Amino acid sequence: MSRMPLPSAMQRREPGGFVAPVFPVDDAYKRICQIGQGTFGVVYKALAPDGSLVALKALRLNDMQHGFSVTSVREIQILQRLNHENVISITDIVASKDAHLDLEKAFVYVVFPYMEHDLAGLLDNPSCRITPPVIKCYFKQIVTGIEYLHENGLLHRDIKCSNILINNYGIVKLGDFGLARPVRSDAEPYTDKVCTLWYRAPELLLGDMHYGPPLDIWSLGCVFAEMFTQRPILHGATEIDQLDRIFKLCGTPTNLPAALNGTALPATSYPRQVKKAFANFGAQESDLLDRMLELDPAKRITAAEILKHPYFTSYPPAVLPEQEIAVDTAVSPGNRFVTVRQETRVFPPVSIKVPGRQARLDVAPGSSQ
């Protein structure tokens, strides 16, 4: 593969069939196996020239008229601006061999550090269980990454467990910046069709198109609770169903600043019961969750405030996993890194009172790797 400048024309193209590229054996990056696929292309586990493992995200170049998808270009542009230990980085951008000879068959590969797991894969894997100290360690890294984005004027807009990447040593990095955007200071609206449904803030569901960093904090709250329960706490089937579940947990809104766009509020007045429903998480845990799942975005806790919350200084202290995680969920059948969107998972109806978890991060004897 050779390094190649990105095309200047970056117009959107409709998704079509994707043909996996052929890697010549003498290329710099040696493909090991496929670990994901989407409308953008294919992701491979590969070996870099220095012997390290990397993830190769293959993007079809097409021709100079159409170029990459807008999402891919934006993700590359944003990630090239960022430099933080808890945010995934681009280490290289290379083109397929002889790409300059035939752009119709050319591919560009975005190279990322290889992360063995995403959080969704770990939570879904019965061989892995996570202790409260490790949850605290993971969550502090997640929030630190989000604080860095917000301090640098960026919204992630798709925080969910499958976009939180974790390596075998417990280091966490935020991934998938395809929906990320700069925070706007003008009156130009965003789209409200962002964030996976189960992690979408109520202001978005109510039609607010002038949102800001609080929408990421709501998603963080959903992820935080899911780390304890091992299942999404608000898994609605539709936007209306999602709002109904939010109101039943967080109470009926009385003065949300978001534009309602004709969305009917429930006739029943629900009390707020976040702390009560998740009291068995612990006093500090349930208080922090309550502040992240605040209906009014103006009153929602910020990432900087989360890091100062007593949860992080209370017992037990945050610790890294006691041992290297022995399963590689990035290549296991249960991986949801890029192949399956989380809203396709089906869960039976459950009471709002979610049982607590006492767990430790380990691998069951005899588990497959």
Instruction: Give the CATH number, domain containing residue 68.
Output: 3.30.200.20
Let me know whether 169 and 93 are in one domain.
no
Let me know whether 84 and 140 are in one domain.
no
Residue 366 within a domain: no
Q: Which of 3-12, 30-39, 93-102, 126-135 has the lowest mean pLDDT?
A: 3-12
Domain termination site, one of 64, 98, 113: 113
Let me know whether 241 and 161 are in one domain.
yes
Let me know whether 162 and 301 are in one domain.
yes
Let me know whether 184 and 306 are in one domain.
yes
> How does pLDDT run across 2-31, given as a tens digit for each residue?
444 433 333 333 334 444 444 543 468 899
What pLDDT is attached to residue 109? 86
Residue 47 within a domain: yes
Cβ atoms within 10 Å, residue 135: 20
CATH of the domain at 233: 1.10.510.10
Find out whether 57 is annotated in a ligand binding site: yes
Let me know whether 85 and 212 are in one domain.
no
Sorting pLDDT into bands at 50, 70 and 90, what band is 323? low
Q: Which of 8-17, 39-48, 248-257 has the lowest mean pLDDT?
A: 8-17
Residue 17 within a domain: no
pTM of the full structure: 0.78
Residue 260 within a domain: yes
**What is the mean predicted confidence (pLDDT) over 263-271?**
75
> How does pLDDT run across 163-209, given as a tens digit for each residue?
999 999 999 999 988 889 888 776 666 766 677 899 999 999 988 87
What pLDDT is attached to residue 17? 42
Residue 349 within a domain: no
Cβ atoms within 10 Å, residue 3: 10
Q: Would you name the residues annotated as active-site residues?
A: 158
Q: Which of 90-104, 196-210, 329-343 has the lowest mean pLDDT?
A: 329-343
Residue 330 within a domain: no
The parent domain of residue 85 ranges over 30-113
Let me know whether 188 and 228 are in one domain.
yes
**What is the mean predicted confidence (pLDDT) over 47-54?**
93
Residue 99 within a domain: yes
**What is the mean predicted confidence (pLDDT) over 249-265?**
68
For the chain, the distance separating the N- and C-terminal CA atoms, rounded to the nearest angstrom, is: 31
Q: How many domains does the chain have?
A: 2
Let me know whether 281 and 166 are in one domain.
yes
What pLDDT is attached to residue 237? 94
Residue 16 within a domain: no
